[in-house]
Amino acid sequence: VAKSQAPNSAVIYDRSMSVELEHRQFIEKQLQQAIKEPEQFGLLYQPQFNARGDCIGAEALVRWNGQNLSPEEFIPVAEDTGLMLELGHQILSRACHDLKQLQDESATGHVKRISVNVSALQFNQRNFISELTSIISNAEANSHLIGIEITESALVKNTDEAIKKIAALSEMGIRVSIDDFGTGYSSLAYLNRLPVNALKIDQTFVKGIAKDANNLAIVETIMALGHSIGLSVMAEGVENDADLQCLKRLGCELYQGFYFGKPMPLAMAKHSLLPNYSTADEPANP
C-alpha cells in the first residue's frame, strides 16, 4: 500500500539502505582478512599540550594502511562484528612497543605519556585488565607512561565494574580520560563515582568556539563540571588561535588539535615525546 502511494520514495529508501549495508559488509570482509596479516594497521601520534605550550604526551590513532577508510568508518564495523577485540589488542600492543622504543631512546627512560583509545567492547571484556597487564609486560613498557581514553558509552553499561577497572588502571599509574565528553549520557551522580583523571571535550563543541555562543556556553559548563570534581579538562579539535585564546580564557588546561599538530608517524612525534626537547632541535624549514 505504501509503495503504490509513494513509489519513488520507497525505492530510493530501499536502494540507499542496501548500498549502506553492502558497504558495511565489504568493510567487514576486508577487516577479517586484514586482521590476520601483520602491518595492515598502523598508529599515528597526535601531540597534546598544556596551557604553556609544552607537549605533555600524544594520542595514538589507528590507520588502516592502503585502505582509504577513516577509523570513524571501520571502527564501528569492527565493534559490531566483534573484530574490535582482536584489532584493539593489536593497537594496544603496538602502542606499548612504540612506548618501549621511546623509553630505550630516552637517556632517563622517561617519556611523555602515550594515550590509547580503548573501545567500549574491549573495555567491557571481563579480562580487560589482565589482557592489558600482559600486553604491557610483554612489551616491557612502563605503565606510568600510558593513558587510556574511553567514551562515556563504555562506562554507563555497568558502572560498578567500570569503577573497579578504572581503579585498577589508576593503581598501575595509567591515566584515564573520558573521550568525546558531552556527546553521551553522563550524569553528575555517576561521573563523581568514576575515578578518572580528565575529560576530553568533544571537538564538535570546540571547533569555532570563539564565534559560537552556544558552544561557548556548553564548554564553559563542561569545564565547571570537570573542575568541580577535580578533573583536568582537555579540548580536542583546536584548529585556530582564536579558539585557543577563547579556551584559555575559560581556564582550559590541556589542548589537542590541528593548530598544534596533526597525527603523525612515531618518527616525527618522537622528538616531542622525549624529555628536554626544544624546538631548536628541529630541522630548519627548507
**98 near Mg ion, rule: CB under 5 A:** no
57 binds, among Mg ion, ligand C2E, none (CB under 5 to 8 A by kind): none
CB of 176 to ligand C2E, least distance (A): 14
C-alpha cell, 180? 568525546
The vertex-71 CA angle with 22 and 51, nearest 5°, equals: 155
Helices (H), the chain: 2-5, 7-34, 71-81, 83-105, 120-123, 128-139, 152-156, 159-171, 188-191, 203-206, 213-228, 241-250, 266-273
Nearer residue to ligand C2E within complex by CB, 226 or 257: 257
C-beta nearest to Mg ion: residue = 149
List the interface residues with Mg ion, window 224-243 (CB under 5 A).
236
Q: How far is the CB of 180 from ligand C2E (least distance, A)?
A: 5
**Could you tell me the smallest distance in angstroms from the CB atom of residue 234 to Mg ion?**
9
46 near Mg ion, judged by CB under 5 A: no
Closest distance of CB 114 from ligand C2E, Å: 11
Q: Which residues of 132-171 are buried (b: 16+ CB within 10 A; e: fewer)?
A: beebbeebebbbebbbbbbbbbbbeeeeeebbebbebbee
Nearer to Mg ion, 98 or 236 (CB): 236
Q: How far is the CB of 204 from Mg ion (least distance, A)?
A: 9
| Complex with ligand C2E: residue 14 or 241, whichever CB lies closer | 241
Q: Rounded to whole angstroms, what are the CA distances from 174 to 44, 52, 148, 167?
A: 20, 23, 7, 10
Binding segment toward Mg ion, per CB under 5 A, in 18-26, 39-47, 48-56, 141-149: 141-149
Burial 190-219 (b: 16+ CB within 10 A, else e): ebeebebbbbbbbbebbbbbbebeebbebb
Binding positions for ligand C2E, rule: CB under 6 A: 46, 60-62, 70-72, 75, 88, 91, 117-119, 149, 179-180, 203, 236-239, 256-258, 263
State in angstroms the smallest separation of the CB of 4 from Mg ion. Answer: 44
Residues that bind Mg ion (CB under 5 A): 117, 149, 179-180, 236
